[in-house]
Amino acid sequence: MADTAVTTKKPKKIKYRNKSSFYKQLANQKYLQVMALLGVAWMLIFNYIPMGGIVIAFKKFKITRTIAEAPWVGLQYFKEFFMDDNFLNIMQNTLGISLLKLIIGFPLPIIFALLLNEIRNVKFKKIAQTISYLPHFLSWVVLGGIMVTWLSKTGVINDFLVASHIIKEPISFLGDAKYFWGLSVISDSWKELGWSAIIYLAAIAGVDQQMYEAATVDGATKLQKIFKITLPSITGTIALMLILQVSGLLNSNFDQVLILKNQINVSRSQVIDTYVYQVGMTMGKYSYATAVGLFKSVIALLLLVIANKTSKKCLGRSLY
């Protein structure tokens, strides 16, 4: 009988991470760690520590005494907001402007990024990107003043429309409430179009170029490449940005609305953010304003959870 050799495999040694190497890595990244710590500190100071003040939404707070001394009133201020005569109008304006920005403003940066990606002239592409970025760096205080001038009866927009025979007489765009929603959406899209497209351009840059080469060999057109390669490849980025956009549905760009709002168009321009500022900062109703702000935050959290679960179920992509 032949002898059979029995071989036994030695168990693999489990390698534990050396603590010294971890601290050495931290030391090598000390400047990056300091930058990260500054960001964390900023978030704690301005985002988390102030959350302790949410309690005044359930108290009758006055500036002359501390939060601890203020008596509890429960859900009184929430009920007052829901029963307020302006509640329906405020919610209508907030949701109306935000939904229009979601429907119109969200796809525009994607389309713009796709168009820029198809430009083969590098110099022209850089010029187009630079011009589209510029409005983002202007604050709404500056841009709002420019828009007020442009949109006046003697402004360049009315001069152009009258000269083009589109309208017969100049229109006071900010003096008529029916134009406010459209102006809000158009101006916000114009200001943020180029800047919002950056993240989509970055996602498109990461698409495997061999897929385009193979599609070219197969005789695919540019539109077929966009719909069959580019868009499916950046679906994850689009889904994440859509989740964030939906979660901020009750945000109507406070700076923009505050600058363009006036007593004439207030019926179509009063949103939750400006209402909170009005009752809190100008009328001194801090508890009431906090309750309204907390209501908005809770709704935003619910929208975030719903949008995240929907995206995870339909697309397999989510924030968490």
- Burial class from Cβ neighbours inside 10 Å (0-12, 13-18, 19+) for residue 106 reads middle
pLDDT at 313: 87
Q: For 137-165, write each residue's pLDDT tens digit.
A: 999 999 988 999 999 888 899 999 999 98
Query: Which tokens in the block code for residue 141?
Result: 């205080």
Q: Is the pLDDT of residue 3 over 50?
A: no
Gap between the Cα atoms of 191 and 179, Å rounded: 18
pLDDT at 5: 44
Q: For 164-217, write each residue's pLDDT tens digit.
A: 989 889 998 988 899 999 999 999 999 999 999 999 999 999 898 899 889 989
**2: three-class secondary structure by DSSP:** coil
Q: For 103-141, write each residue's pLDDT tens digit.
A: 999 999 999 999 999 888 889 999 999 999 999 999 999
Q: Is the pLDDT of residue 56 over 50?
A: yes
pLDDT at 281: 87
Q: Domain extents for the chain?
A: 57-314
57-314 adopts what CATH topology?
MetI-like fold (1.10.3720)
Q: Is the pLDDT of residue 15 over 80?
A: no
Task: Find the mean pLDDT for residues 248-259.
Answer: 89
The mean pLDDT of the chain is 88
pLDDT at 1: 42
